[in-house]
Chains A and B, each alone.
Chain A
Amino acid sequence: MDALEFDTQEIKREIRHSKPFRTKGERRRYFITLFIALALSIGFGCALIFYNNPVPVDSASFIPVTQRRFNAVIAMIIAAICHSLATVSFQTIANNRIIAPSLLGFEALYSAINTSVVFFFGLAGHAAFTGIKSFGIQIVIMIVVSLLLYGTLLTGKRANMQRMLLVGIVLGMGLQSIASFMRRLLTPSEFDILQARLFGSVNNADPEFFPIAIPLVLIAALLLLLRSKHLNLIVLGKECCLNLGINMTRETLYLLTLITILMAVSTALIGPLTFLGFLVACLSYIAVPSYDHKYILPMSIVLGFLVLSASYFMMYHVFNVQGVVSIIIELFGGLAFIIIILRRGKL
């Protein structure tokens, strides 16, 4: 009798825990979802490289063709890592699940930089504004501008996240309008070439930039993943963080720096993909029954790559159109955004 009671107590003690997943079932569900998503995305990735390859394997041009497709897949992986990690952590920092880091004005800045190059230097300037140097310049400009913004807005006496976001939105709108004004004054041919660049597409990605982009992204992503525990805490708010011994302002600044690096690299490499991050973050919250960023962040990367590779695969091989997939992603992302806003009373 005593032994039995001891047993039940033992079991109860084992059941009571504060792990990120409340039950084993939730944990299992997470890993199954992750595994399926990973398998599917690897499948789509390989399919994008090998499926319907017009060149036979023994042909001399097989390697270059495959290489080109392979580069696009690499660009997709980079985009997935950048947008997913940046959006999820950004939403955590802002304690708001309907915003994306594009609110900080990266895309506006990107389009302003590219438009002003064409506007001031013409097509020749645009053609010259390629290569590693321009890539580096764009990244540096984006990082410097956003760090100046956060640095002043988050550390001052009236430091406030909402104020920073508002300034980011207004600044982004201002830059967009200046850019669109400049675009009106362009000749049609200049406009056409510029427009192609302003839609995000993995085919824009120049493999020449990979040696810079990949290490930058990997380091920033790793540092962000190592910060999962702090991200979990930041959700609780500034006072709770301070109470538990975390300086939230410093932490936020550090995290925003990493987010900036990720967004800047991705935008400079691929172009704007406004709704990708938002869509992926939403899917990840649904797929992960836990608060812990240690589990949400990896899931978001895998889902991000799955969304990108699946939509490219659909577009190329099912609908047989060559175009920019960001239109499709923005369509579905926008729809998801509206559905979520309408379905949930609270955010």
Chain B
Amino acid sequence: MISVRGVSKRYSSQTHIGPVDLEIPQGEVTAIVGLNGAGKSTLLTMVGRLLKLDEGQIFVAGLDVHDANSKDLAKVLAILRQENHFVTRLSVRQFVAFGRFSYTQGRLTPQDEEVISHYIDFLGLKELENRYLDEVSGGQRQKAYVAMVLAQDTDYVLLDELLNNLDVARSVEMLKYLRQTCDEDGKTIVMIMHDINFSAQCANNICAMKEGKVIAFGSAKDIMNSKTLTDIFETPIEVIDTKYGPFAICL
């Protein structure tokens, strides 16, 4: 379980995130939605220990993320951030292999290679695993990043801007993968999403943020109604029932 207790972060007198209190259940997919600047990324990076908090505490699987040993945390919690440019040429596979670092300190065992192969195959990167990262498309690179985070084999996976660079087909595919790894391996996945319909289809829970605060948290059924969505996105939104479940349309 991820529990966020009274967390706040102050950027300036105008921009202020929190206080946020939140319990994210284990073994489920949770989507964080909200407008730009609502504090989604800030909250996620704070949970992922990449950003220091000003107040409050965050516990992941009982570990205080800002006090616990960094190496222990790397085996419990993995976070994907937007990709950054680096000068070295790495093959897709070598890059994914870095995900094993917290276990191996760089010395890969046959078991590690198996885990790496597993996630490369899982994300459909097998054919290009020996290509350099700068020789594959943006979407494939994004998949390699996800493979690396999954290869870290942590119970908790945080994904920021996951569907960046992915077209509709790849997005659906990616969400299916995540659903599958959540159901089969019991991973807890928290991700930031922009598409409310994708979120409703894939996630068990939706966490809505607005102006630095969590304004709604619940199952897709609870959140997917016209009033709540209009309030979250400050845009008239109508929810209609289809045979695939509730579907939101911007008016």
* Chain A interface (Cβ < 8 Å from any Cβ of B): 16-20, 22-23, 91-92, 95-97, 229, 232-233, 235-237, 239-240, 242-247, 291, 347
Our pick among A95, A235, A245 for the contact of B71 (Cβ within 8 Å) is A245
Q: Which residues of A contact B108 (CB under 8 A)?
A: 17-19
* Chain B interface (Cβ < 8 Å from any Cβ of A): 48-50, 70-75, 78-79, 81, 84-91, 93-94, 96-99, 101-102, 105-106, 108, 113, 116-117, 129-130, 149, 152
- Chain B minimum-CB-distance residue to A20: B94
In Å, the complex CA distance between A95 and B93 comes to 21
Give the interface centre of A91, A96, A229 by most chain B CB atoms within 10 Å. Answer: A229
Instruction: With A16-B113, A18-B108 as known contacts, state yes or no: A244 contacts B102, CB within 8 Å.
Output: yes
In Å, the complex CA distance between A23 and B94 comes to 12
Our pick among B49, B81, B88, B113 for the contact of A291 (Cβ within 8 Å) is B88
- Chain B minimum-CB-distance residue to A15: B130
Q: Which residues of B contact A239 (CB under 8 A)?
A: 50, 79, 81, 84
Q: Which residues of B contact A18 (CB under 8 A)?
A: 93-94, 96-97, 108, 113, 116
CB of A241 to closest CB in B, whole Å:
9
Give the interface centre of B98, B99, B130, B152 by most chain A CB atoms within 10 Å. Answer: B98
Q: Which residues of A contact B94 (CB under 8 A)?
A: 18, 20, 22, 291
In Å, the complex CA distance between A240 and B83 comes to 9
Complex contact A22–B70 (CB within 8 A): no
Give the interface centre of A95, A245, A247 by most chain B CB atoms within 10 Å. Answer: A245
Instruction: With A229-B105, A229-B106 as known contacts, state yes or no: A96 contacts B87, CB within 8 Å.
Output: yes
Complex contact A244–B88 (CB within 8 A): no
Instruction: With A18-B116, A233-B98 as known contacts, state yes or no: A95 contacts B86, CB within 8 Å.
Output: yes
Instruction: With A244-B74, A245-B71, A246-B70 as known contacts, state yes or no: A22 contacts B130, CB within 8 Å.
Output: yes
- Chain A minimum-CB-distance residue to B74: A245
Complex contact B89–A291 (CB within 8 A): yes
In Å, the complex CA distance between A239 and B86 comes to 13
Q: Which residues of B contact A22 (CB under 8 A)?
A: 91, 94, 130
Complex contact A244–B101 (CB within 8 A): yes
Our pick among B74, B88, B129 for the contact of A243 (Cβ within 8 Å) is B74
Our pick among B73, B91, B96, B117 for the contact of A245 (Cβ within 8 Å) is B73
Q: Which residues of A contact B98 (CB under 8 A)?
A: 232-233, 236, 240, 244
Complex contact B74–A17 (CB within 8 A): no
Q: Which residues of A contact B89 (CB under 8 A)?
A: 291
Complex contact B70–A245 (CB within 8 A): yes
Complex contact B50–A16 (CB within 8 A): no
- Chain A minimum-CB-distance residue to B116: A18
In Å, the complex CA distance between A233 and B48 comes to 18
Instruction: With A18-B96, A18-B113, A244-B74 as known contacts, state yes or no: A291 contacts B101, CB within 8 Å.
Output: no
Q: Which residues of B contact A235 (CB under 8 A)?
A: 86-88
- Chain B minimum-CB-distance residue to A232: B106
Q: Which residues of B contact A20 (CB under 8 A)?
A: 94
- Chain A minimum-CB-distance residue to B69: A245
Instruction: With A17-B113, A233-B98, A235-B86 as known contacts, state yes or no: A244 contacts B91, CB within 8 Å.
Output: no
CB of B161 to closest CB in A, whole Å:
13
CB of A78 to closest CB in B, whole Å:
28
Q: Which residues of A contact B96 (CB under 8 A)?
A: 18
In Å, the complex CA distance between A229 and B108 comes to 12
Instruction: With A18-B113, A96-B87, A235-B87 as known contacts, state yes or no: A244 contacts B105, CB within 8 Å.
Output: no
Q: Which residues of B contact A247 (CB under 8 A)?
A: 70
User: Told that A232-B98, A244-B98 touch, could you supply 5 new A-B pairs with CB distance under 8 A?
Assistant: A18-B93, A232-B106, A236-B84, A244-B74, A245-B72
In Å, the complex CA distance between A105 and B117 comes to 46
Our pick among A95, A243, A347 for the contact of B78 (Cβ within 8 Å) is A243
